[in-house]
Amino acid sequence: MTTSKENLDETPFQTAGPFLHIGCMPNAIKIEKLYQNDLGETPFKNKNESELITIEGSVFDGNGFALDDVMLETWQCDENGEFREESGFARFIPNNLTKKFILKTVKPGSFKGFDGKIHSPYISLSISSRGLNMTLNTRIYFEGDELKNDPLLSIIKNCNENSLIAKKISKHSYLFDIFLQGEEETIFLDI
């Protein structure tokens, strides 16, 4: 076995602050002349409505308030379990009235990883906002899928692993709420 030693430290994070939309989603706040589209508006292009699932939810703080100044980013493989660098990324914010976010995407497939293991379908999710000195990372798995042999889920024991599993509402729609604190605090990952 060989390894080499890194010589630089990773640059530290700082909070994205309340005005992250200016840099990351200017069209969403009506700064419309700069970029043609906001990045990650659709994770997969040229898909029919019938091929898509909807994941809906809110991000709750320790007071139980649903937040509208957070930015969510997702990254996933396609329905065949293939990661393609030109697609699979989405960026979105909760609606400022309903405080709910909605992600429309294809349901990812399971895949055989670099590690040789079979991974259950999931979407990687990151959360950045005011009050978070670092971006948080978690995953969205899906209720109804085969989950017990997933390499990550199988190492999570005796804690709130259900927080990583989106509840199935209907054939094509799921609910995934995120709790930053409290009894139901979501599991966050050191990715």
Partner 1 sequence: MSVKSLIRRNYNKQPELDFPDYKSSIFRAPKNKKISFPSSDSEILGPIFNKNIIGELDNNLTLNFSKNKKSPLGHKIIVYGTVSDQFSNPIEGALIEIWQANSAGKYLHDKDKNSAPIDPNFAGCGRCLTTSRGYYEFLTIQPGPYPYPNRGIEWRPMHIHFSIFGKSFGQRLITQMYFEGDPLLKHCPMVNSIADEKAKKSLIGALDTSRSNTQNLLAYKFNIVLRGIKQTYFENRREGL
Of the CA atoms within 13 Å of residue 48, those in its CB half-sphere come to 2
Regarding 9 and contact with partner 1 (CB under 8 A), the answer is yes
Euclidean distance between CA atoms 175 and 143, whole angstroms: 10
Q: Answer whether 135's CB lies under 8 Å from 166's CB.
A: no
Q: Which of residues 88-127 bind partner 1 (CB under 8 A)?
A: 88-89, 111, 113-115, 119, 122, 124, 126
Query: Of the candidates 23, 98, 144, 162, which one interacts with partner 1 according to CB under 8 A?
Result: 23
Query: Of the candidates 16, 93, 140, 166, which one interacts with partner 1 according to CB under 8 A?
Result: 16
Euclidean distance between CA atoms 38 and 32, whole angstroms: 10
Regarding 14 and contact with partner 1 (CB under 8 A), the answer is yes
Q: Which of residues 31-50 bind partner 1 (CB under 8 A)?
A: 31, 33-36, 39-40
Part of the chain binding partner 1 (CB under 8 A), chosen from 7-15, 49-57, 98-106, 141-149: 7-15
Euclidean distance between CA atoms 120 and 135, whole angstroms: 24
Antiparallel, parallel or unpaired: β 165-170 and 136-142: parallel
Residue nearer to partner 1 on the CB measure, 40 or 56: 40
49 Cβ neighbours under 8 A, 6+ residues apart: none
**Count residues contacting partner 1 (CB under 8 A)?**
78
Q: Which of residues 132-171 bind partner 1 (CB under 8 A)?
A: 132-136, 151-152, 155-156, 159
Residue nearer to partner 1 on the CB measure, 20 or 106: 20
Structure tokens at 176: 């995934």
Structure tokens at 80: 């065949």
Regarding 2 and contact with partner 1 (CB under 8 A), the answer is yes
Part of the chain binding partner 1 (CB under 8 A), chosen from 49-57, 97-105, 140-148, 183-191: 183-191
Euclidean distance between CA atoms 114 and 98, whole angstroms: 40
Structure tokens at 69: 């100044």
Query: Shortest Cβ distance from residue 83 to partner 1 (Å)?
Result: 5
